[in-house]
Structure 1
Amino acid sequence: MTGGTRVADRDRTMHARRSSMRRFLLPVALGAALAATTSVVVPALSAAPATDELNWGPCPETPVPTPDLECTTLRVPLDHRDPGGPTIELAISRLPSTNPEQRRGVLFTNPGGPGGSGLDYPQLLTSTALPSPLPRSVRDRYDVIGFDPRGVGHSTPVTCDLTPEQLAIGNLPYANDPADVVRQAEVAKAEARQCAEAETGAMLPHTTTANTARDMDRIRAALGEPTASYLGASYGSYLGAVYATLFPERGDRIVLDSNLGPGGYGIEAMRAFGRGMQERFPDFAEFAARHPEHGLGTTPDEVTAKYHELAARLDREPVAAYTGSIFRGMTFSSLYGSDMGALARAWRSLDRGEEPEVPGGEPPVSDNVPAARFAVLCGDSAWPRSVQSYQRDVAVDRERYPLIGAASANIAACAFWATDPVEPKVAITDGGPSNVLMVQNERDPGTPLSGARELRSALGERARMVTVEEGGHGVYAVGANRCANDAVTEFLVTGERPEDTTCAAQPR
C-alpha cells in the first residue's frame, strides 16, 4: 500500500467514524441526501426485569466492519432509582484479549458525542489506518469493551422526529444579529416540543451521563469483573470522570482524552467552542498562507480575512447547501483533524461558487444522533430559558470569538426542554484512588485546554495530565504524537503514570 493510499484510507475511516467526538459536531447539510431521511425504528420499552445474562454472538452492521468483535445485549432499568420499573436494552461489543495469560481485565471505551455510537469503536481502535492503533501490549492485557450508550444506535434509541429541514440547520447556526436568535428560538422550541411528543419522550429525562455511567457499572457486573479500566475521548472524558466519581473503587486505570471541563456539556462548554476555534484556526491560516496555490491569501491575516469574507458572502448567497453557518461549522469541525489540504480545497471551491467535495460519512438516515445529543445535553444541565440571555451571549461572543462565537452561544432546544434535570449534576471531586491519566492537545477546538485544566484541578491528586503541544481533537491512537501515545500505553499496561508533563509537537 502506498503512503498516499494509506493516508486516503485513513482519512475516509476517520471522517466516517473516526471517533464520534468529531462526527456529532459536523453540520448536517447536503439537502438532497437529507430528503431520504427516515424516522428511527423505536423498540417499545419493556416491563421485563433487568438481567445480567450475556449471550455473545455476531455484531449488527456498523459503519466500521467488525470481524473480530462479538456482541450481546443487556437489559437495564430505564430509571436506576426504580430497578423494578421499565427497562431498556444496551448493545455491547467485546474484542477479546489477544493473550489470556496476560489478561488484566476489561477496558471500557467511549469515542465521544453525546449521541455517539461506540459499538464498533474497539475494532476501529485496532485499525492500521489510524496513526497509532491500539498496541498489542494493550490488546494482551484487556478485553476491549464497546457499547452504544442508552438512547443511541443499536441500544434502545431515542428520536425527536426531526425533519430534513431541521437537520440541515446543523448544530451551530450563526446569529448575525438579535433577530437571528429570535428566529432560531422558534426552531429550537419546535425541536424541544417534538422531542417531548415523540414515541420515546418518556426516555428523555433518563438519558443522561450519570445514568450511562450507571449502565457501565451494570455491564461491568454482568461481565463478572470486580473493576473496569476505561478509555474515553471528548464527551467520553466527562463520562469517564462521572463514572470514576460515582464508582471510585470500581475503576482500575482511567484514561481521559481531549477533556471537557468538570461541568460536562453545559452552556459554558458550548460557548467554549468559540475559544477553541480561535486557538486552533491560526494553524490553518498559517498552512493556507504557506500554500498560495489555494488562493486563500499569502499571510495568515489574509486567510483570516478570506474566512470572514467568504462566510458573509455565503450568508447572502449560499452555494448549494452551504450557507454561511454551514461553512463556519464545516471549517470548525474540519479543524478537529489534521487534513488542512482538504479544508483549503473546500474553501477554494466555495470561493469559486462550486459545491466542495468534503470527505465524510453519509448523512444520517435517522435523527437518532441529534436526538440523543439533545437528550444528554438538556438532561444533564439546567439551561437558561430567556431568549434575551442568548442574545446577550451571542453579542458578547461575536466580539470575543469572532470566528464562530455567535454560533456556539446561540439558542438551542435545551432552552425550551419540557423537563428539568431529574437529579443534580454529578460533582467531580478528588475523592477516590489516584488512577486517572488525562491527555490533551494544547489547541483543541472542541475541548479547549482551559476546560482540561479545570477538570485536572477538580480531580486533584486522583489525576495526572499529559499536555501535547499540538492542535486538533483526539490524542491517543488517533494522533501520531509518540510521547503522548507511549505515556498512555505505559499506564494501561503497567499502571505507571508520568507526573504532569508536556510532550513536544511531533515533526511532520
Structure 2
Amino acid sequence: MKVLRRWTAALSALSLLVVALPASAAPATRWEPCPVAGSAERQECATLTVPLDHRDPHGRKIDLRISRIPAKGTSRGALVIIPGGPGNSGLNRPSTVNFPAEIRESFDLIGFDPRGVGQSSPVSCGMAAADARRLTPWPGPDGDISENIATAKRMSEACARNGGDVLRHISTRNEARDIDEIRKALGRSKISYWGLSYGTYVGATYATLFPQRTDRVVLDSSDDPDPRRVARGWLANYAVGFEDRFPDFARWAADPANPLRLADSPDAVRPLFLDLAAKLDRAPQDWPGAVPPKLNGNALRETLLRGLSTDAGFPLLARTMAAARDGSPAPVPVLPPDAVLQNISAVAAATICQDVTWPRDIDRIARDVQRNRARYPLTAGMPANAGICSSWPHQPAERPVEVTSHGPANVLLVQNRRDVATPLSGAWKLREAFGRRAVMVTVDAGGHGSYLATGNACGDTTVTKYLLGGARPAHDLHC
C-alpha cells in the first residue's frame, strides 16, 4: 500500500485540465489490485490523504482507502457507492453488489471505507465486549433504564479514553467532505452516487454542500433529515418501522404451507411474540454460543429487528420464537468478529453523537420510554431510550446540515413501503426537504434496502434507466 501525499495541491494546479480527464487517467491516484475473495471482478484500491479537520485543510492528514472497478465499456463517469451504518465498510461493494451488466459497462464503480472504518484510519473505543453489542438501547423489563444509563457511561468513558483524534472528527458533514476529496482524486468535475440507508443522509448532505458537483443521485431507503434531531429521529422511527413491517412476517409465519408456521392466523403472531418476549423478560433461557449466553426478552426483540430487515431473516426469527415457546435450543446469530464490532460501534457512536445534541435529562428520558412502550409494544420503549449519546464526552463541532431544494433537479429516491429501519414516513420527509430537486419511487415491498434487493422490476428498472440515461419519472411513482 502506497500512501499518496500532497495530491490536493497537485489537483488545484491542474484544475483546468482535470475536468477533461477520464477517471482512468486521474492524476492523484496510484491503483493496485485488491481482489475480493469469491468475485471475478478486477477490483483496484488506492489510498488518499484527506484533512483530519476540513476546516484546517493544511493541518494533519489521515488516510482514506478507496476502490474501483473501471467501466467495462466507455465510461460515462464515476458511480460512488455510499455505505450505510454508520460504521459499515464500503470498500468491497463494487465487487459484491450484483449490478446490471449495463451499469458495469457504463460506470467506474467506486467504493470506500468512510473515515474511521475498516482500512480508513480505523478507530476503536476498546469497549467491554458485551457493551460493544449494546448500541441499540433496549430498556430493561418494565421499562427500567438504569442499566442503559450505566452502560452508556461506560461506553462513553471508553471512547473518551481510547478513541483518539480521528474519532473526534467523525461526522456526516466530514464524510460528505471526504467524498468530495474522492471526486477530486478521480479527476471528475461531477460524480454520481448511490447511497443506501444511513448513506442516504450522507448523500443528501453532499447534495446540499456540493450541489453543482452532483450528476445522478440515487438515495435508497432514506432517513428523515430533520436537522433538529438527525439520528434521534432515526431511532424514534424504529417504532413506526416495526409496525409497518411486522404484518409481512405475521402473514409468512401463519402460512399453512410454511414448515416453520407459528400460528393459525396472522393476527395471532403479534400476541405470540409479545407474550414470548414478556416471558423471557421474566425468565431468560440459556443460549449456548451466544454473547451473552442468555436468551432474554431484549435478545428476542433484537432478533426481530434483524429478522424484519429482509424476508431471508424470517426463518431465523421464527426458529428463535419457537425455541422461546418450547424451551428448546435457540439458533445463534452470526455476528462480526469482536474487532470489527468494536470498530463499527465506535464509528456509529461518534457519528450519531457528534451530528446533533442528544437529551441528557434522565427523568425525562424515563418518562418518554414509558409512553413509547405503551404506544409501541413491539419495540418496548427502545426508540425513546437513552443510549451512548446521553453520556457522550464531546459536543457537536458543527451544526447539522439542513437539506433544501437549492440545486439541480437530479435526485431520485427509491423506498420500500414497509421498511423496519427507515420507514416510508421518514423518507417522505427527505422528499419534502428536497422539493423540486427530487422524485420518489415507492416500491410495494418490505425490508430494508430497495434497489436490486426486493426483485421489484418496476423499481429496479426505473433506477437503472435513470443512472444510464438521466431521465427520472415526471412525478413520484408507485411500483
Length-normalised TM-score, structure 2? 0.89
2:351 alignment counterpart: 376
1:290 to 252, 255, 259: 255
The answer to whether 1:113 aligns with 2:88 is: no
- C-alpha RMSD over aligned residues: 2.0
Specify the code of the residue in structure 1 equivalent to 2:134: I
Specify the code of the residue in structure 2 equivalent to 1:319: D
Residues 374-432 of structure 1 deviation map (CA, whole Å, 9 limit, x = unaligned): 01000111101111222122112111211014122221111111111000100100000
Q: Distance in 1 between matches of 2:84 and 2:463?
A: 18
The answer to whether 1:182 aligns with 2:157 is: no
Answer yes or no: is the 8 Å Cα contact 2:445–2:454 preserved in 1: no
Q: CA deviation at 1:64?
A: 6.8
1:398 to 359, 373, 377: 373
2:297 alignment counterpart: 324
Q: CA deviation at 1:250?
A: 0.2
The answer to whether 1:454 aligns with 2:429 is: yes
Q: Write out aligned runs for 1:58-69 (5 A).
A: 58-59=33-34, 67-69=41-43
Q: CA deviation at 1:482?
A: 0.2
Q: Write out aligned runs for 1:348-497 (5 A).
A: 348-357=322-331, 360=334, 362-366=336-340, 367-497=342-472
Q: Write out aligned runs for 1:41-56 (5 A).
A: 51=8, 53-56=28-31
Quick check: 146-155 or 66-75, which moved more? 66-75
Q: CA deviation at 1:372?
A: 0.5
Answer yes or no: is the 8 Å Cα contact 1:350–1:356 preserved in 2: yes
Answer yes or no: is the 8 Å Cα contact 2:81–2:193 preserved in 1: yes
Specify the code of the residue in structure 1 equivalent to 2:202: L
1:254 alignment counterpart: 217
Q: Distance in 2 between matches of 1:259 and 1:66?
A: 31
Answer yes or no: is the 8 Å Cα contact 1:258–1:441 preserved in 2: yes
Answer yes or no: is the 8 Å Cα contact 1:105–1:142 preserved in 2: yes
Q: Distance in 2 between matches of 1:245 and 1:500?
A: 22
Count of equivalent residues? 446
Distance 1:329 1:50, change over 3 A: farther
1:228 to 150, 166, 191: 191
2:64 to 55, 69, 90: 90
Q: Distance in 2 between matches of 1:249 and 1:170?
A: 37
Answer yes or no: is the 8 Å Cα contact 1:109–1:231 preserved in 2: yes
Q: Distance in 2 between matches of 1:392 and 1:64?
A: 50
Q: Distance in 1 between matches of 2:196 and 2:316?
A: 24
Q: CA deviation at 1:205?
A: 2.9
2:272 alignment counterpart: 306
Specify the code of the residue in structure 1 equivalent to 2:42: D
Q: Distance in 2 between matches of 1:496 and 1:295?
A: 44
Q: Distance in 1 between matches of 2:81 and 2:331?
A: 32
2:117 alignment counterpart: 152
Quick check: 396-405 or 485-494, which moved more? 396-405
Q: CA deviation at 1:170?
A: 5.1
Answer yes or no: is the 8 Å Cα contact 1:266–1:383 preserved in 2: no
2:25 alignment counterpart: none
Mind listing any 5+ residue stretches in structure 2 that lack a counterpart? 12-27, 288-292
Quick check: 331-340 or 441-450, which moved more? 331-340
1:143 alignment counterpart: 108
Answer yes or no: is the 8 Å Cα contact 1:271–1:405 preserved in 2: no
Distance 1:120 1:470, change over 3 A: same
1:201 alignment counterpart: 164
Answer yes or no: is the 8 Å Cα contact 1:49–1:84 preserved in 2: no
Answer yes or no: is the 8 Å Cα contact 2:34–2:44 preserved in 1: yes
Specify the code of the residue in structure 1 equivalent to 2:304: T
The answer to whether 1:336 aligns with 2:303 is: no
Q: Distance in 2 between matches of 1:296 and 1:482?
A: 31
1:122 alignment counterpart: 94
Structure 1's consecutive aligned runs of 4 or more residues displaced over 6 angstroms after TM superposition are: none
Length-normalised TM-score, structure 1? 0.84
Answer yes or no: is the 8 Å Cα contact 1:50–1:87 preserved in 2: no
Q: Distance in 2 between matches of 1:360 and 1:491?
A: 36
Q: Distance in 2 between matches of 1:118 and 1:63?
A: 15
Q: Distance in 2 between matches of 1:479 and 1:486?
A: 12
